[in-house]
Structure 1
Amino acid sequence: MKRVKEMMNKPWVIYVMLALATSSWGSAFIAGNYATRDFEPITVAFLRFFFAAVILLPLMWTMEKNRPRPHGKEWLLFAALGFTGIALYNICFFIATKEAPIVKSSLFIASNPVLIILVSALFLKEKITGRNVIGLALALAGAAVIITEGNFLSLVRAGFEPIDLVLLTAVVCWALYSVLGKVAMQKFSPLVCTTYAVVFGTIMLMPLALMEMTWDQAANATLLTWGSILHMSIIVSVVSFIMYYQGIRAIGAGKASLFINLMPVSAVILAVILLGEPLLPVHIAGALLVFAGVTIGTRAKKQKRKASVPMAAAK
């Protein structure tokens, strides 16, 4: 156990975890598209986190026996996490996977780091460095290149539509979720924060899902649909959320958010593998920009990096 904790204090381990976590989110676009063919968006969101809660609760009770108990306003903080990052964000996300063009929805989600860095600087007083700004610009440009395939005019032609408000709400919710999570982890572990957020979010989604879902839908849903929901529950929700929160705890919400730009890269790769979509040179160019941006944005000067290790160890 001690060796595991020592490993978790190493920057490269944190970066690998964040890369894996955010890359897995790219698969949620494909899985969400499959799942919303048989269920409505709110139902998919509820089922995703219901199964996640079933896994997380016994995991927390087993691994966090000496966890501090929330009191008073701390319960409200977890409820806010459940509302922003679990309930409302995922309702918007699954509506987008069903109704919005992938080009537009992916670009909106890829813009998350911009808002997270701004909100983190405003409320958490996290410092915005020149490297952060350059890395963010490169990574966001790479994500835009991948999503639009270099045809930025396609976004202009699409114009403003009502679905854009849904996507904008999703972006704001995720930024708030990331920043509130940093606050919660001043006292609680990533596993505890994720579990309580998922439980609160599931409870909020339940009455809406029960009004929306019918038994015929559940009985007639395909194995592909159920497999997609379980994938989002176990890999995208449980494993990735814990790794993402661990990353925020170690390096801050602003810097961790740079890794979100890996999401469209993984989405394109999975689309090539699973859906047979072509891999174009522009996709490779965009991916290189993303990787360059993440590398520059998370790389600290040697003296600062040495100073940050003891701070991570103390948390």
Structure 2
Amino acid sequence: MRNGPMIRVLNRPGGLLVTDPGRILPVAALFTAVGLWGGSFAAMRLCVQAMSPWSVMWLRMAIALVVILPFAGRLKTDAYRKGDWKLLLPMVLFQPCLYFLLESNALRFTTSSQAGVISASVPLMVAIGAWMMLAEPLKRKTLVGLFLSVCGVAVLSLSGSPDDTAVKPLLGNLLELGAMACAAVNMVMVKRLCDRYNPWLLTALQVFAGTVFFSPGLVLLLREARVGWTPPLVFSIVFLGAVVTLGAFGLYNWGMSRIPASKASVFINLVPVTAVAIGWMVMGESLSGLQGVAAAAVIIGVGISQRRTR
């Protein structure tokens, strides 16, 4: 037996599953991040019902910035190389700026449950982004899974009828799909930058850029004198800013810096389960029978694309 860290090899149908103790912490970080993201849909929907999306996003970013500022001096900034701005600028533009702009408006028109289901399409988008930007091979099963997931998202969106919980489900779901595309592009860029940059530094850059981008929300917030600052609203804002915006994105960036992007994106599959469960318990949301089948098609499509070969 060779010297080195012990690796356990477990038999499983369709192949072998290798578990490396050195990946326990990154996997735990990814699990925690996607769990927090799943809970953020209901909290975000509650907030955008009480104030404008720009105000909510500025508060999220400002709270996260206040929390991370005391630690900013400990983050190394000597990794910059000439031309890195071509990656850093799109990284912060796609997420948090465009991502949160699209998602915050999406949750005005659709339910947190449907938005959570659509988030399952991220792994497929990451695979396509890695094929386009990193020249990674695109397998046939990925294309099959993509087709099935797109069909599921289409049925999920078109079968929704306007009601008190989703006033314009088609528009909301399209906006959420656009937000997921922004997230997928961002993940590919973060993976490239994590080779040299501290993932928490990248998170701090995202928070700072988001605070500046959504600064008009401060003006809108000062004009929204009728906002009722109830305990659930205050808790949701603090949770979104300090825990989700900073904690979830920081943990995910850190975990992805130690695991391949295509593997890390698979953890997004857990977001729909959490989002639907919390949407049902907290917001009183539910999926119709046809929407449930469509949601299953989205998740199955992702599963097909990520299935191990023998």
Q: TM-score, normalised by structure 1?
A: 0.73
Matching residue of 1:310: none
The gaps in structure 2 that reach 5 residues or longer are 1-19, 162-167
Alpha-carbon distance between aligned partners in 2 of 1:164 and 1:262, rounded to the nearest angstrom: 19
1:179-214 CA distance string (max 9 Å, x none): 1111221210110111112111211111x3134333
Q: Hey, what does 2:252 align to over in structure 1?
A: 244
CA RMSD between the two structures: 4.0
**2:158 alignment counterpart:** 155
Secondary structure, in 3 states, of the residue corresponding to 2:258?
A: helix
- Paired residue total: 286
2:263 is the counterpart of 1:255: yes
Structure 1 residues 165 and 219, CA gap change in structure 2 (3 angstroms): closer
CA distance in 1, matches of 2:159, 2:25: 40
Report the Cα distance in structure 2 between the residues aligned to 1:275 and 1:120, rounded to whole angstroms: 36
C-alpha spacing 1:21/1:95, structure 2 compared with 1 (3 Å): same
Is the Cα contact below 8 Å between 2:94 and 2:185 reproduced in 1? yes
SS of equivalent to 1:55: helix
CA drift of 1:154 comes to 6.9
Kept in 2: contact 1:43–1:213 (CA 8 A): yes
The aligned residue for residue 198 of structure 1 is 207
CA contact (8 A) 1:255 1:298 kept: no
Deviation at 1:74, TM superposition (A): 2.8
Shift, 1:220, TM fit: 3.7
- The residue that corresponds to 1:231 in the other structure is 239
- 1:267 and 2:270 equivalent? no
Q: Which residue of 2 aligns with 1:37?
A: 49
Q: In the aligned structure 2, how far is the partner of 1:153 from the partner of 1:112?
A: 16
Aligned to 2:6: none
Q: Which stretch shows the higher mean deviation, 35-44 or 128-137?
A: 128-137
In the alignment, which of 61, 65, 72 is matched to residue 53 of structure 1? 65
Alpha carbons of 1:51 and 1:9: their partners in 2 closer, same or farther (altered >3 Å)?
farther
After superposition, give the CA deviation of every residue in 1:67-107 in whole Å (9 maximum; x if it has no partner).
42535533453332221111111011111111224454334
TM-score for both structures, normalised by structure 2: 0.74
Q: Which amino acid aligns with 1:155?
A: L
Q: Deviations over 1:97-138 (max 9, x none)?
A: 112244543343221221111111221233556887899899
Counterpart AA for 2:255 = G
After superposition, where does 1:62-101 map in structure 2 within 5 Å?
A: 62=74, 64=75, 66-68=76-78, 70=80, 72-101=82-111
Q: Compute the displacement of 1:13 (Å).
A: 3.1
SS in 1 for 2:84: helix
Larger helix proportion of the pair: 1
Q: Deviations over 1:135-170 (max 9, x none)?
A: 9899x69xx6xx99xxx5773466994445423321
d(CA) in 2 for partners of 1:160, 1:54: 35
C-alpha contact 1:179 1:253 (8 A) present in aligned 2? yes
Q: Deviations over 1:262-283 (max 9, x none)?
A: 1111112323443466899998
User: Aligned equivalents of 1:242 and 1:201: distance in 2?
Assistant: 14
Shift of 1:217: 3.5
Aligned identity (percent) is 24
Does structure 1 retain, via aligned residues, the 8 Å contact 2:55–2:220? yes
Aligned to 2:164: none
* CA distance in structure 2 between the partners assigned to 1:278 and 1:25 by the alignment: 19
8 Å Cα contact 1:272-1:279 kept in structure 2: no
